[in-house]
């Protein structure tokens, strides 16, 4: 991952933990088309790096992400009127219809590594919805959340109509989106959006400690498979679908060198050193989900 540079984010790896920082602090890290491209590329990089065991996403300065950059004024959300969106390609193409926030959340959804949000400040619009595809959300006392779309004359994006009700229930999801109000981290925790609330200076250390638990104690391939199993089964129509995947995964993992190491390290009372890498050790039935094209 050495030498990876981006315009709107930074990506640092230290001791198996990658920290992806949204880096437009003078704009409260407002989201742009370039940030979309940078975030997708950053997750491509963390997936490709076997040394990365977990990814923390946070914001530079006092904000996490203040939502879409509104500097284009009235035409901010009018794709037909915009001429400065080269990341969308030809206006006449199907690709040009795609929501940029959705492209980011779908990429996070496909991550091979666990993703932890460390929400250090205001998180509004796409700043809130991009978190929904992350596995665990932790917030500082200064964090504020808002699904403000109806107050801007638009609708929820970034696949949030799929993610948000699954995380907090349909009643809370609709209340937050109908009202568009901005609410504190305490309410986000009470209603299940975030795992925990921390003093400002304690947030990143707490997220790093959680990432450290994963990096130091678990088999990388097992974690990657577990992530995919849990997320994909949210859409399954019967527990048999989980049984099909569980059975194949247990067989594949059970005969791996990781399983041998996991048992022997326990019996020998020593830290495990798992040899199988995500880049080369995923089982042959992975991925079991059919690709979903944008149509």
Alpha-helical (H) ranges within 183-256 are: 185-190, 203-217, 220-233, 239-254
Amino acid 85: pLDDT: 56
End-to-end CA separation in angstroms for the chain: 33
Give the model confidence (pLDDT) of 39-93 as tens digits: 999 999 999 999 999 999 999 999 999 998 766 665 566 666 655 555 556 666 7
- Domains by residue range for the chain, with CATH: 9-214 (3.90.226.10), 218-281 (1.10.12.10)
Amino acid 89: pLDDT: 62
Using DSSP's 3-state secondary structure scheme, residue 26 falls into helix
Q: H or E element: which one contains 42? A: helix 33-48
Amino acid 208: pLDDT: 98
The rounded average pLDDT for each run of 10 residues, N- to C-terminus, in the chain (295 residues) is 81 97 97 96 98 98 90 61 58 81 98 98 98 98 98 96 98 98 98 98 98 98 98 96 98 98 98 98 95 92
Q: What six digits make up the tokens of 9?
A: 């984010």
């Amino acid at each position: 991952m050495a030498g990876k540079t981006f315009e709107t984010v930074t990506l640092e790896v230290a001791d198996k933990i990658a920290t992806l920082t949204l880096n437009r602090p003078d704009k409260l890290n407002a989201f742009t088309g370039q940030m979309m491209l940078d975030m997708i590329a950053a997750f491509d990089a963390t997936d490709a790096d076997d040394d990365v065991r977990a990814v923390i996403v946070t914001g530079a300065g006092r904000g996490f992400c203040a939502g879409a950059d509104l500097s284009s004024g009235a035409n901010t959300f009018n794709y037909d009127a915009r001429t400065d969106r080269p990341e969308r390609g030809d206006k006449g193409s199907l690709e040009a219809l795609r929501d940029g926030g959705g492209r980011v959340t779908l990429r996070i959804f496909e991550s091979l590594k666990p993703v932890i949000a460390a929400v250090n400040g205001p998180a509004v619009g796409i700043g809130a919805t991009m978190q929904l595809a992350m596995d665990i959300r932790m917030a500082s006392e200064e964090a504020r959340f808002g699904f403000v779309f109806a107050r801007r004359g638009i609708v929820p994006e970034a696949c949030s109509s799929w993610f948000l009700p699954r995380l907090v229930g349909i009643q809370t999801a609709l209340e937050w989106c109908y009202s568009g109000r901005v609410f504190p981290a305490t309410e986000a925790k009470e209603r299940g959006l975030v795992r925990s609330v921390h003093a400002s200076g304690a947030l990143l250390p707490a997220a790093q400690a959680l990432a450290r638990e994963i990096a130091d104690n678990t088999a990388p391939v097992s974690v990657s498979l577990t992530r995919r199993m849990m997320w994909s089964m949210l859409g399954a129509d019967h527990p048999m679908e989980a049984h099909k995947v569980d059975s194949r995964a247990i067989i594949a993992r059970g005969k791996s060198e990781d399983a041998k190491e996991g048992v022997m390290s326990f019996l020998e009372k020593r830290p495990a050193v798992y040899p199988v890498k995500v880049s080369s050790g995923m089982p042959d039935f992975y991925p079991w989900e059919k690709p979903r094209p944008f149509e």
